[in-house]
Amino acid sequence: MSRSENSVAAAEPPHQGCASAQTLTPAAPPAPLTGLALEPRPCATRPAASFRRRFYPGVTAAQWNDWRWQVRNRVTNLTGLARFLRLSPSEERAFSAHSGKLPMGITPYYLSLMDPENPEDPLRRTMVPTWYEAVVSPGESNDPLGEEHDMAAPGLVHRYPDRVLFLATGFCSAYCRYCTRSRMVGGNGHGMARSKSDMERAIAYIEATPSVRDVLISGGDPLTMADDRLEWLLDRLRRIPHVEMLRIGTKTPAVLPQRITKDLVRRLKKYHPLFMSLHFTHPAELTPETAKACARLADAGIPLGSQTVLLAGVNDSVPVMRKLMQGLLQMRVRPYYLYQCDPIAGSGHFRTPVSRGLEMIQGLRGHTTGYAVPTFVIDAPGGGGKVALYPEAVIGRQGGDLLLKNYAGETYSYPDQGGEWGPAAC
Ligand code: SF4
């Protein structure tokens, strides 16, 4: 994504309010996604097409479905936002208290999924700044994972023995308020686009490091890069003999599904094995548009996994998490990681106790398809890497038997011949 494209000013129409929006004639219903019925959210469930007709009356469906139009028309300031949402005092204050670290940016498409009247709307909470971001709690920092310490080359984090993280861009089409890399996205730190010379230095490091067999391309959001630039990077990496696999980390199918064009997918499928980690937060993101984007990627043979950050008041309930994970499976996205929210500066209002994450896993494991259960991890502050956490299943021993607690909380014993592991029960 070029800077010039990013800087095109949005032409935002006046805010009409939720009530009037509801009086619209609904758009033709999209193909239903069975089992994805959301909790009642009367304003947020209106189709994107109705939102477009109401707020962008001069914009055609073709323009709306053009990802470049969506990026050019991102809502990036208080005035623009107030035209669509009835802002709370905390949201309004955020703009005056804002330290300028993480900018706001929301695609019109993603905005159409939010409840204009309710500041507690889950998607709205993840994208609209609040005053709470200015509150820095003990233990929080701008680089909690210590990524800068592990930079092997510009934008290249080499932490684990056989894989590297390639930060290809600092741009995202929408900025999550809990972003671990808020220090470097949206024009902070290294700026938006990684220069070609920086990329060459990162590629040269990988070429010279035979232990690297896996490259995760992230950012920012690499799918906001122009097709040619992204393909250039994939091609360069694919030519390195010891790089066995490539991965892309992205939130694009959730916030900008229009970006998953046939042409993009045609290019991506040339670089197999190519995996994708898709960032999803809430079942309200699982729209027909997103389903279509995921279907295109899956049909191209790209294994899809999900990454979800556990967020207080957004997705930290078992029913919401279950609906999200089951809905992702319907889209052929395998739940991969559930992250404890990193202690970035100003994240206290998003972070839950770690025990809540274990409750999520306990509420999923055994209660639904095993494929729907992600691994709950804490990315250890200071660069310790991911540490997986599991609810206690081994509760003791009885003679030679291991005592196990099943998903329903019942105790069973297993004849553990020669086993010494596990605490003694009695
Ligand atoms: S999409 Fe990813 S990199 Fe971009 S703001 Fe959200 S969490 Fe950060």
Q: Give residue-wise pLDDT tens across range 156-214.
A: 999 999 999 999 999 999 999 999 998 888 876 545 678 899 999 999 999 999 999 99
d(CA 301, CA 332): 11
**Claim to verify: residue 158 and residue 208 sit in the same structural domain:** yes
CATH of the domain at 204: 3.20.20.70
**Claim to verify: residue 422 and residue 349 sit in the same structural domain:** no
Which atom belonging to ligand 1 lies closest to the Cα atom of 102?
A: 5
- What is residue 149's DSSP assignment? G
**Claim to verify: residue 155 and residue 206 sit in the same structural domain:** yes
**Claim to verify: residue 169 and residue 239 sit in the same structural domain:** yes
Q: Does the annotation list 341 as a binding residue?
A: no
Which atom belonging to ligand 1 lies closest to the Cα atom of 255?
A: 1
d(CA 256, CA 275): 19
Residue 232 Cα to ligand 1 middle (Å):
22
Q: Which of 37-46, 62-71, 218-227, 387-396 has the lowest mean pLDDT?
A: 37-46
In this structure, which residue's CA is closest to atom 5 in ligand 1? 175
Residue 249 Cα to ligand 1 middle (Å):
9
pTM of the predicted structure, to 2 decimals: 0.87
**Claim to verify: residue 159 and residue 103 sit in the same structural domain:** yes
**Claim to verify: residue 291 and residue 412 sit in the same structural domain:** no
Residues 6 or more apart whose Cβ sits within 8 Å of residue 231 = 267
Which atom belonging to ligand 1 lies closest to the Cα atom of 249?
A: 2
Q: Give residue-wise pLDDT tens across range 344-391.
A: 999 999 999 999 999 999 999 999 999 999 999 999 998 899 999 999
Nearest to 302 by CA among 263, 272, 281, 336: 272
Measured in residues, the chain has a length of: 426
Residues 311, 356: contact at Cβ < 8 Å? no
Total domain count, the chain: 2
In this structure, which residue's CA is closest to atom 7 in ligand 1? 179
d(CA 328, CA 326): 5
- Per-residue pLDDT band for 33 (boundaries 50, 70, 90) equals very low
d(CA 39, CA 18): 18
- Per-residue pLDDT band for 267 (boundaries 50, 70, 90) equals very high
Q: Does the annotation list 18 as a binding residue?
A: no
Which residues are marked as active site? 159-160, 163, 172, 176, 179, 181, 342, 379, 386
**Claim to verify: residue 299 and residue 413 sit in the same structural domain:** no
Q: Give residue-wise pLDDT tens across range 112-154.
A: 999 999 999 999 999 999 999 989 999 999 999 988 899 999 9
**Claim to verify: residue 246 and residue 322 sit in the same structural domain:** yes
Q: What is the mean pLDDT of residues 242-263?
A: 98
d(CA 124, CA 143): 25
pLDDT at 261: 98
**Claim to verify: residue 377 and residue 396 sit in the same structural domain:** no
pLDDT at 48: 87
Outline where 272-317 has alpha helix (H): 288-299
C-alpha Rg value of the chain to the nearest Å: 22
Outline where 177-317 has alpha helix (H): 196-207, 227-238, 252-255, 262-268, 288-299
**∠ CA 29-250-94 to the nearest 5 degrees?**
85
Report the mean per-residue pLDDT for the chain. Answer: 87
Residues 6 or more apart whose Cβ sits within 8 Å of residue 33 = 286, 288, 291, 327, 330
Residue 221 Cα to ligand 1 middle (Å):
7
Pocket test for ligand 1, best of 126, 157, 177, 185 (most atoms within 8 A of CB): 185
Token duo for residue 305: 């996994």
Domain hosting residue 229, numbered range = 1-383
pLDDT at 41: 42
**Claim to verify: residue 337 and residue 414 sit in the same structural domain:** no
Token duo for residue 168: 């290809």
- Per-residue pLDDT band for 420 (boundaries 50, 70, 90) equals low
Q: Does the annotation list 172 as a binding residue?
A: yes
Residue 217 Cα to ligand 1 middle (Å):
13
d(CA 374, CA 248): 18
- The set of protein residues with a Cβ atom below 6 angstroms from ligand 1 is 172, 175-176, 179, 181, 185, 219-221, 251, 279
SS3 content of the chain, % helix, strand, coil (to 5): 35, 20, 50
**Claim to verify: residue 168 and residue 26 sit in the same structural domain:** yes
**Claim to verify: residue 321 and residue 189 sit in the same structural domain:** yes
Pocket test for ligand 1, best of 145, 251, 256 (most atoms within 8 A of CB): 251
d(CA 290, CA 278): 11
Backbone phi, then psi, for 70, in 5-degree steps? -60, -40
d(CA 121, CA 41): 9
374: three-class secondary structure by DSSP:
coil
In this structure, which residue's CA is closest to atom 3 in ligand 1? 220
